[in-house]
Structure 1
Protein backbone atom coordinates (compact mmCIF):
# COMPACT_ATOMS: atom_id res chain seq x y z
CA UNK A 1 0.00 0.00 0.00
CA UNK A 2 1.43 3.35 -1.03
CA UNK A 3 1.53 6.31 1.31
CA UNK A 4 2.26 9.54 -0.49
CA UNK A 5 3.98 12.32 1.39
CA UNK A 6 3.20 15.93 0.48
CA UNK A 7 5.99 18.34 1.38
CA UNK A 8 5.42 22.08 1.11
CA UNK A 9 8.11 24.01 -0.72
CA UNK A 10 8.85 27.60 -1.66
CA UNK A 11 8.83 26.84 -5.40
CA UNK A 12 6.21 29.07 -6.99
CA UNK A 13 7.52 29.37 -10.55
CA UNK A 14 7.55 26.28 -12.76
CA UNK A 15 10.08 27.78 -15.18
CA UNK A 16 12.67 28.39 -12.43
CA UNK A 17 11.98 24.97 -10.91
CA UNK A 18 12.64 23.27 -14.26
CA UNK A 19 15.85 25.27 -14.72
CA UNK A 20 17.04 24.34 -11.21
CA UNK A 21 16.45 20.63 -11.85
CA UNK A 22 18.21 20.91 -15.19
CA UNK A 23 21.24 22.60 -13.61
CA UNK A 24 21.40 19.72 -11.10
CA UNK A 25 21.17 17.14 -13.89
CA UNK A 26 17.84 15.79 -12.62
CA UNK A 27 15.64 14.78 -15.57
CA UNK A 28 12.04 15.93 -15.38
CA UNK A 29 9.01 16.26 -17.61
CA UNK A 30 5.80 18.25 -17.50
CA UNK A 31 2.52 16.49 -16.89
CA UNK A 32 -0.50 18.51 -17.98
CA UNK A 33 -4.00 17.88 -16.76
CA UNK A 34 -6.79 19.81 -18.48
CA UNK A 35 -10.39 19.57 -17.32
CA UNK A 36 -13.26 21.18 -19.18
CA UNK A 37 -15.84 22.88 -19.15
CA UNK A 38 -14.83 24.44 -15.81
CA UNK A 39 -11.39 24.88 -17.40
CA UNK A 40 -9.22 23.50 -14.62
CA UNK A 41 -5.63 23.51 -15.88
CA UNK A 42 -2.82 21.92 -13.87
CA UNK A 43 0.81 21.48 -14.76
CA UNK A 44 2.86 19.15 -12.63
CA UNK A 45 6.53 18.39 -12.92
CA UNK A 46 7.47 14.71 -12.77
CA UNK A 47 10.88 13.26 -11.93
CA UNK A 48 10.86 9.69 -13.25
CA UNK A 49 12.37 6.93 -11.13
CA UNK A 50 13.38 3.52 -12.48
CA UNK A 51 11.06 1.72 -10.03
CA UNK A 52 7.99 3.42 -11.53
CA UNK A 53 7.20 5.41 -8.36
CA UNK A 54 7.89 8.86 -9.74
CA UNK A 55 8.45 12.01 -7.73
CA UNK A 56 6.06 14.83 -8.55
CA UNK A 57 5.97 18.55 -7.97
CA UNK A 58 2.26 19.30 -7.90
CA UNK A 59 0.78 22.78 -7.83
CA UNK A 60 -1.59 23.53 -4.97
CA UNK A 61 -2.37 26.97 -6.40
CA UNK A 62 0.29 28.69 -4.28
CA UNK A 63 3.43 26.60 -4.75
CA UNK A 64 4.66 23.28 -6.04
CA UNK A 65 4.48 20.62 -3.34
CA UNK A 66 6.78 17.64 -3.57
CA UNK A 67 4.71 14.45 -3.68
CA UNK A 68 6.46 11.12 -3.27
CA UNK A 69 6.05 7.68 -1.76
CA UNK A 70 8.96 7.69 0.67
CA UNK A 71 9.18 3.90 0.80
CA UNK A 72 10.16 3.95 -2.90
CA UNK A 73 12.61 6.89 -2.75
CA UNK A 74 15.48 6.23 -5.21
CA UNK A 75 17.39 9.48 -5.17
CA UNK A 76 21.09 9.46 -4.15
CA UNK A 77 20.45 11.65 -1.09
CA UNK A 78 17.76 11.99 1.58
CA UNK A 79 14.63 14.04 0.90
CA UNK A 80 15.80 17.00 3.02
CA UNK A 81 19.08 17.25 1.10
CA UNK A 82 17.20 16.81 -2.17
CA UNK A 83 14.94 19.77 -1.43
CA UNK A 84 17.88 21.84 -0.13
CA UNK A 85 19.86 21.28 -3.35
CA UNK A 86 16.88 22.21 -5.50
CA UNK A 87 16.12 25.26 -3.32
CA UNK A 88 19.67 26.53 -3.68
CA UNK A 89 19.60 26.21 -7.47
CA UNK A 90 16.06 27.64 -7.65
CA UNK A 91 17.18 30.74 -5.72
CA UNK A 92 20.10 31.20 -8.11
CA UNK A 93 17.80 30.96 -11.12
CA UNK A 94 15.40 33.52 -9.61
CA UNK A 95 18.26 35.93 -8.83
CA UNK A 96 19.75 35.66 -12.33
CA UNK A 97 16.46 36.03 -14.19
CA UNK A 98 15.03 38.83 -12.06
CA UNK A 99 18.36 40.72 -12.09
CA UNK A 100 18.49 40.51 -15.89
CA UNK A 101 15.12 42.27 -16.00
CA UNK A 102 16.75 45.35 -14.44
CA UNK A 103 19.90 45.27 -16.56
CA UNK A 104 22.31 43.00 -14.70
CA UNK A 105 24.20 40.26 -16.52
CA UNK A 106 25.59 37.11 -14.90
CA UNK A 107 29.39 36.99 -15.09
CA UNK A 108 30.14 33.93 -12.96
CA UNK A 109 28.05 31.11 -11.49
CA UNK A 110 29.99 28.33 -9.83
CA UNK A 111 29.52 25.64 -7.22
CA UNK A 112 32.04 25.81 -4.38
CA UNK A 113 33.58 22.83 -2.58
CA UNK A 114 31.51 23.53 0.53
CA UNK A 115 28.27 23.19 -1.49
CA UNK A 116 27.56 26.91 -1.70
CA UNK A 117 27.27 28.79 -4.97
CA UNK A 118 29.01 31.95 -6.05
CA UNK A 119 27.09 34.25 -8.35
CA UNK A 120 28.59 37.44 -9.76
CA UNK A 121 26.42 39.92 -11.66
CA UNK A 122 27.38 43.19 -13.30
CA UNK A 123 25.59 46.17 -14.76
CA UNK A 124 27.17 49.00 -16.64
CA UNK A 125 25.98 52.51 -15.96
CA UNK A 126 25.45 54.22 -19.32
CA UNK A 127 24.58 57.57 -17.73
CA UNK A 128 27.38 60.10 -18.18
Structure 2
Protein backbone atom coordinates (compact mmCIF):
# COMPACT_ATOMS: atom_id res chain seq x y z
CA UNK A 1 0.00 0.00 0.00
CA UNK A 2 1.32 3.38 -0.96
CA UNK A 3 1.46 6.16 1.63
CA UNK A 4 2.60 9.56 0.46
CA UNK A 5 4.06 11.99 2.95
CA UNK A 6 4.30 15.76 2.60
CA UNK A 7 7.26 17.10 4.55
CA UNK A 8 7.36 20.83 5.23
CA UNK A 9 10.63 22.44 4.26
CA UNK A 10 12.14 25.89 4.31
CA UNK A 11 12.94 25.84 0.60
CA UNK A 12 11.27 28.94 -0.78
CA UNK A 13 13.49 29.78 -3.75
CA UNK A 14 13.52 27.61 -6.86
CA UNK A 15 16.97 28.71 -8.04
CA UNK A 16 18.63 27.93 -4.69
CA UNK A 17 16.84 24.57 -4.53
CA UNK A 18 18.01 23.66 -8.04
CA UNK A 19 21.58 24.73 -7.21
CA UNK A 20 21.54 22.57 -4.07
CA UNK A 21 20.31 19.54 -6.04
CA UNK A 22 23.01 20.15 -8.64
CA UNK A 23 25.70 20.31 -5.93
CA UNK A 24 24.51 16.90 -4.70
CA UNK A 25 24.54 15.66 -8.32
CA UNK A 26 20.87 14.71 -8.13
CA UNK A 27 19.06 14.66 -11.46
CA UNK A 28 15.67 16.33 -11.54
CA UNK A 29 13.23 17.77 -14.01
CA UNK A 30 10.98 20.78 -13.89
CA UNK A 31 7.24 20.23 -13.99
CA UNK A 32 4.95 23.13 -14.77
CA UNK A 33 1.75 23.09 -12.72
CA UNK A 34 -1.24 25.21 -13.73
CA UNK A 35 -3.83 26.11 -11.10
CA UNK A 36 -7.09 27.89 -11.85
CA UNK A 37 -7.93 30.40 -9.13
CA UNK A 38 -10.89 32.75 -9.53
CA UNK A 39 -10.84 32.43 -13.33
CA UNK A 40 -7.13 33.22 -13.56
CA UNK A 41 -4.36 30.74 -14.20
CA UNK A 42 -1.42 30.52 -11.83
CA UNK A 43 1.74 28.85 -13.09
CA UNK A 44 4.01 27.10 -10.62
CA UNK A 45 7.12 25.04 -11.16
CA UNK A 46 7.60 21.82 -9.22
CA UNK A 47 10.73 19.71 -9.24
CA UNK A 48 10.60 15.96 -9.80
CA UNK A 49 13.43 13.57 -8.96
CA UNK A 50 12.77 10.45 -11.02
CA UNK A 51 13.36 7.09 -9.39
CA UNK A 52 13.79 3.82 -11.25
CA UNK A 53 10.81 2.29 -9.41
CA UNK A 54 8.49 5.05 -10.77
CA UNK A 55 7.76 6.39 -7.25
CA UNK A 56 9.28 9.77 -7.94
CA UNK A 57 10.27 12.36 -5.36
CA UNK A 58 8.45 15.67 -5.72
CA UNK A 59 9.18 19.17 -4.51
CA UNK A 60 5.70 20.67 -4.75
CA UNK A 61 5.21 24.44 -4.53
CA UNK A 62 2.33 25.06 -2.08
CA UNK A 63 2.30 28.84 -2.51
CA UNK A 64 4.77 29.46 0.30
CA UNK A 65 7.47 26.81 0.08
CA UNK A 66 8.47 23.61 -1.66
CA UNK A 67 7.02 20.62 0.18
CA UNK A 68 8.86 17.36 -0.18
CA UNK A 69 6.33 14.72 -1.29
CA UNK A 70 7.57 11.15 -0.97
CA UNK A 71 6.45 7.63 -0.43
CA UNK A 72 9.02 6.58 2.18
CA UNK A 73 8.43 2.88 1.56
CA UNK A 74 9.68 3.34 -2.03
CA UNK A 75 12.64 5.62 -1.26
CA UNK A 76 15.68 4.35 -3.21
CA UNK A 77 18.12 7.22 -2.83
CA UNK A 78 21.70 6.54 -1.65
CA UNK A 79 21.01 7.93 1.83
CA UNK A 80 18.03 8.05 4.21
CA UNK A 81 15.34 10.75 3.90
CA UNK A 82 16.59 12.67 6.97
CA UNK A 83 20.15 12.69 5.67
CA UNK A 84 18.93 13.78 2.22
CA UNK A 85 17.03 16.72 3.73
CA UNK A 86 20.01 17.70 5.90
CA UNK A 87 22.47 17.61 3.00
CA UNK A 88 20.09 19.48 0.73
CA UNK A 89 19.37 22.09 3.42
CA UNK A 90 23.07 22.70 3.96
CA UNK A 91 23.75 23.23 0.24
CA UNK A 92 20.64 25.40 -0.05
CA UNK A 93 21.78 27.60 2.86
CA UNK A 94 25.30 27.90 1.42
CA UNK A 95 23.86 28.99 -1.92
CA UNK A 96 21.59 31.57 -0.26
CA UNK A 97 24.47 32.99 1.80
CA UNK A 98 26.86 33.26 -1.14
CA UNK A 99 24.30 34.61 -3.62
CA UNK A 100 22.81 37.18 -1.26
CA UNK A 101 26.20 38.34 0.02
CA UNK A 102 27.42 38.81 -3.56
CA UNK A 103 24.49 41.17 -4.13
CA UNK A 104 25.96 43.52 -1.51
CA UNK A 105 29.54 43.25 -2.74
CA UNK A 106 30.99 40.30 -0.83
CA UNK A 107 32.92 37.55 -2.59
CA UNK A 108 33.53 34.06 -1.22
CA UNK A 109 37.24 33.50 -0.71
CA UNK A 110 37.29 30.22 1.20
CA UNK A 111 34.93 27.39 2.03
CA UNK A 112 35.75 24.58 4.41
CA UNK A 113 33.73 21.51 5.34
CA UNK A 114 34.41 20.29 8.86
CA UNK A 115 34.47 16.72 10.15
CA UNK A 116 31.09 17.22 11.88
CA UNK A 117 29.53 18.09 8.50
CA UNK A 118 29.26 21.83 9.13
CA UNK A 119 30.70 24.40 6.73
CA UNK A 120 32.56 27.65 7.20
CA UNK A 121 32.36 30.18 4.39
CA UNK A 122 34.72 33.14 4.41
CA UNK A 123 33.48 36.18 2.52
CA UNK A 124 35.36 39.36 1.72
CA UNK A 125 34.40 42.80 0.53
CA UNK A 126 36.79 45.58 -0.39
CA UNK A 127 35.80 48.94 1.02
CA UNK A 128 37.99 51.82 -0.16
CA UNK A 129 41.47 50.77 0.95
CA UNK A 130 40.30 48.32 3.64
CA UNK A 131 38.93 44.84 3.34
CA UNK A 132 36.29 43.38 5.59
CA UNK A 133 36.12 39.63 6.06
CA UNK A 134 33.12 37.81 7.51
CA UNK A 135 33.48 34.25 8.68
TM-score (normalizing by structure 2): 0.87
**How many positions carry a matched residue from both structures?**
128
Cα distance in 1 for partners of 2:54, 2:113 equals 31
Instruction: Give, in angstroms, the shift of residue 106 of structure 1.
Output: 1.0
User: C-alpha offsets along residues 22-80 of structure 1, whole Å, 9 cap, x if unaligned?
Assistant: 11111111111235652121210111111111101001111000001111100111111
Cα distance in 1 for partners of 2:114, 2:52 equals 30
Cα distance in 1 for partners of 2:96, 2:62 equals 20
- For residue 15 of structure 2, what is the aligned residue in structure 1? 15
Cα distance in 2 for partners of 1:54, 1:109 equals 33
Q: Structure 1 residue 114 and structure 2 residue 116: aligned? A: yes
Structure showing greater radius of gyration is 2
Report the RMSD for the aligned CA atoms in angstroms: 1.7
Cα distance in 1 for partners of 2:104, 2:60 equals 31
Greater strand content:
2
Cα distance in 1 for partners of 2:24, 2:62 equals 24
Structure 2 gap segments, 5+ residues each: 131-135
SS in 1 for 2:55: coil
User: C-alpha offsets along residues 75-102 of structure 1, whole Å, 9 cap, x if unaligned?
Assistant: 1111111101101110000000000010
- For residue 74 of structure 2, what is the aligned residue in structure 1? 72
Structure 1 gap segments, 5+ residues each: none
TM-score (normalizing by structure 1): 0.91
- For residue 53 of structure 1, what is the aligned residue in structure 2? 55
Specify which of 29, 44, 47 is matched with residue 46 of structure 2. Answer: 44
